[in-house]
Amino acid sequence: MRSCDVLVIGAGPGGLAAAFSARKAGAGDVIVLERDRKAGGILNQCIHNGFGLIRYNEELTGPEYAARAISEASDSGAMILLSRHVSDIRKENDGSFSVSAYTKDGIEVYRTKTIVLATGCRERTRGNISIPGSRPAGVFTAGVAQNLVNIRNVMIGRRVVILGSGDIGLIMARRLTLEGAKVMAIAEIMAEPTGLARNVSQCVQEFGIPLYVRTTVSRIIGKRKLEAVELSDLDKDGKVIPGTARRIDCDALVLSVGLIPENEVAQTAGVRLFANNAVDTDRYLQTSIPGVFSCGNCRHVMDLADYVSEQGELAGRNAVHLINDQDMESWDEEKSNCMKKGFPDEGSVTCTICPNGCQVVWDEKAGTFSGNRCRRGARFAMEEKSNPVRTVTTTVKTMAGDGPLLPVRTLQKVPKDKVVELVSELRSVRVEKPVGNGETVFSTDIEGNHITVIATSDCGE
């Protein structure tokens, strides 16, 4: 049996940051148990950029962010053990905890003084919402669609309808469009999109994808395979308005209808949960069981990985403070709630330099700007109007043939109207040898500018 001071369950951004900070705060042995074969959590399939703006002051893709978090944790001396599915937590008479994990060789038991739960969340499925109609193939949750398209090289459909306008659905709308699908509609039951304004602007409006609010999928049509869905308008009480149903032919329906904190392991310890399955903690991120802390999406679903990491750091530090009988630090619940959500304001430019997503209005005649919280927003708005550019993120095939894809991004920004063309060109690229994160896999010239495409993850031996 292995013993440690802090045992972290889950190696997503929350768990990795907790392990890193526990070591930094002076913990002796820190162990992270992860059920997957790879650390990084859900970020490994989030190949787009927009991560790290707060934590690293740099714009990274999901896999790049995950790689940084993994290095920080392992360089600090924390031990990350993969392929360990934690099944049970038990409190011992001496106040410590026994934690059991399934491995391919059987069950392992760990003994620890404190625990940080960082088990993330899972998606709501069709079973969690009731959509009338048949049960054909072709209905996916957004995360499953993301995994199939971004990692497994499986295109889920050519004509796609998305139900729900949370960030994962919006990001998938752009991704599927770049991969050559037509996103016929995004339907949102609320009066405003629920995702960040920056994602509504850059993932939906920029590609001319129709987004209907107060609208739902009222029927799924198709016997074995999805043939169509019926969209209906909703009144302000969320009831279908009779006579508004219209049929949209499609071969894939993507559900982006919310996330549920994943807390089965927490329950084995008797940790108190809210009705939505989130962990109830005090302001120090300690659960109803002293010595057990919780952070990230299993505690409360958060919009940005950067804030998850920040919270993980606090949970890891507080676990060490508890062991050392020191004062614990409080989590500021408001901190992660300052970002603009919903439709961008009319006539504004959504600044994407940082997650605040300021709605900048540039009065060209008067030469004035409003809505920007800092000067960078003014520069962004001017560039967006005169010469809009984007970092391109996509995948390329590898020597593994039909195996996992390699996520890539451009080092330089590309004119906005050349993005689709470049992604299409990259679809025929195949990387024939092992490459490391940051290595060049392709280069080209666009309008006289040299564009380098780099791997954002390791691939091969």
Ligand X SMILES: Cc1cc2nc3c(=O)[nH]c(=O)nc-3n(C[C@H](O)[C@H](O)[C@H](O)COP(=O)(O)OP(=O)(O)OC[C@H]3O[C@@H](n4cnc5c(N)ncnc54)[C@H](O)[C@@H]3O)c2cc1C
| Site for ligand X contains 146 (CB under 6 A) | yes
Give the chain's length: 461
Find the helix packing angle between 305-323 and 13-24, rounded to 10°: 40
d(CA 314, CA 291): 14
DSSP 341: B
Distances (CA, A) of 20 to 7, 26, 29, 207, 451: 12, 10, 11, 40, 35
In the chain, the amino acid numbered 70 is I
Residues touching ligand X: how many (CB under 6 A)?
Answer: 35
Question: CB-wise, 54 or 151, nearer to ligand SF4?
Answer: 54
Question: CB-wise, 234 or 341, nearer to ligand X?
Answer: 341
Residues of this chain that bind ligand SF4 (CB under 6 A) = 351, 353-354, 356-358, 372-374, 376-377, 380
Residues 210-269 interacting with ligand X (rule: CB under 6 A): 259, 262, 265
* Contact pick of 12, 52, 157, 407 for ligand X (by CB under 6 A): 12
For residue 354, the partner it binds in ligand SF4, ligand X, none, with Cβ less than 5 to 8 A by kind, is: ligand SF4
SS3 content of the chain, % helix, strand, coil (to 5): 25, 30, 40
Question: Residue 378 phi/psi, 5° resolution?
Answer: -65, -45
| Site for ligand X contains 174 (CB under 6 A) | no
Q: What residues contact residue 367 under an 8 Å CB cut-off, 6+ apart? A: none
For residue 233, the partner it binds in ligand X, ligand SF4, none, with Cβ less than 5 to 8 A by kind, is: none
Beta strands in 76-127 (DSSP E): 79-81, 85-91, 97-103, 106-117, 121-123
| Site for ligand X contains 15 (CB under 6 A) | yes
d(CA 42, CA 27): 27
Question: CB-wise, 27 or 203, nearer to ligand SF4?
Answer: 203
* Contact pick of 296, 357, 371, 407 for ligand X (by CB under 6 A): 296
For residue 211, the partner it binds in ligand X, ligand SF4, none, with Cβ less than 5 to 8 A by kind, is: none
d(CA 426, CA 448): 18
Encoded one letter per residue, x for contact with ligand X by CB under 6 A and - for no contact, window 262-291 reads: x--x--------------------------
Give the nearest distance from C-beta 261 to ligand X in angstroms.
Answer: 9
Tokens of 196: 């960040």
* Contact pick of 11, 115, 229, 255 for ligand X (by CB under 6 A): 11
Encoded one letter per residue, x for contact with ligand X by CB under 6 A and - for no contact, window 71-110 reads: --------------xx------------------------
| Site for ligand X contains 405 (CB under 6 A) | no
Question: CB-wise, 352 or 457, nearer to ligand SF4?
Answer: 352
d(CA 184, CA 292): 46
d(CA 380, CA 319): 41
* Contact pick of 43, 162, 422, 455 for ligand X (by CB under 6 A): 43
On whether the CB atoms of residues 4 and 99 are closer than 8 A, the answer is no
Question: CB-wise, 151 or 420, nearer to ligand X?
Answer: 151
Give the nearest distance from C-beta 374 to ligand SF4 in angstroms.
Answer: 4
Pairing outcome for strands 159-163 and 182-188: parallel
Can you count the helices (H) and strands (E) in the chain?
Answer: 9, 29
Question: CB-wise, 118 or 213, nearer to ligand X?
Answer: 118
For residue 395, the partner it binds in ligand X, ligand SF4, none, with Cβ less than 5 to 8 A by kind, is: none
Could you tell me which stretch among 31-39, 128-136, 271-279, 420-428 binds ligand X (CB under 6 A)?
31-39
Q: Which of 430, 434, 414 is nearest to 422 (CA)?
A: 414
Residue nearest to ligand X (CB): 12
Could you tell me which stretch among 114-122, 152-160, 236-244, 437-445 binds ligand X (CB under 6 A)?
114-122
Give the nearest distance from C-beta 15 to ligand X in angstroms.
Answer: 5
Question: CB-wise, 58 or 92, nearer to ligand SF4?
Answer: 58
Could you tell me which stretch among 119-127, 155-163, 240-248, 443-451 binds ligand X (CB under 6 A)?
119-127
Q: Which of 182, 252, 203, 184 is nearest to 46 (CA)?
A: 203
Q: Which of 265, 220, 303 is nearest to 50 (CA)?
A: 303
